[in-house]
Structure 1
Amino acid sequence: MPVGPAWPAGLGVVLVLALAASLIGGPAAGPALAAAGVRLTGTSVTPTPPADLQVGDAFAVAAAGQALLVFPDRGYLRCQGETAGQILEHGLALTRGGVRLLFRKVGSRFVIQTPLAVLAVRGTMFDLAVASGSLRIALLQGELEVVPTAPAAGPILMKAGEVLELPGGKGGPRRLREADLLPWGDLPVVSDPEGAAGPLGFDEAFPTGLVTLEAGQAALATADDLAGLVPGARIPVEGLVTAAGSGTADLRLACGSMVRLAPGASVRVQAFGLDLAAGTALIRHAGSPFPLKITGPGNVLIGRKSVGELTRDGETLLVRCHSGTIGLPDGTEPLSPGETAAVSGPAKVERNPLLAPVSWTAFHQPAPPGETAAPPAGREASGRASGPTAGDPAAGPVSGTQPGATDEVRDPVLPTTGQPTETGGTADAGLDDVLDF
Structure 2
Amino acid sequence: MLAPNRGVEVPEKDSSAEGLVPSMMSTPADFVKGLGLLRVEAGRPPLRELSRSTGIPRSTLSVIFDPRRGQLPTLERCFALLAALGVTEPQTAQWAAAWRRIQGAELRQAETPAAEPDAEPGPAADAVTATGPAPDAETDAVTNAETGPVTGPAEGRGAAVADGASKRGGERRRLGVAFSLGFVLAVASTLATLHLIRASAPPAPVLVGDYAVCRPAGLPSGPQTARPGPPPATAGSVPAHPAAWVGRPAYDAQILTTTQVALPITTAVADGHTLIITMMLTSTCPGPVTVTDSQDNHYRTVSDVTDASRHRVLIIAAFDVDGLGTADSVKLGYPKASKYQVAVDEFSGLSGADQAVTASGAAGGTAFTTGTVPLSCTGGGLQVAAIGTNSGDAPAPSADWTVVPPVLKLSSYRLTTAYRLTRTTGPCAVTGTTTAQWAAALATFH
Flag the structure with more relative contact order, 1 or 2, with Cα contacts below 8 A and sequence separation at least 6.
2
Greater gyration radius: 2
TM-score tier by shorter-chain length is under 0.3
The structure with more strand, counted as a fraction of residues = 1
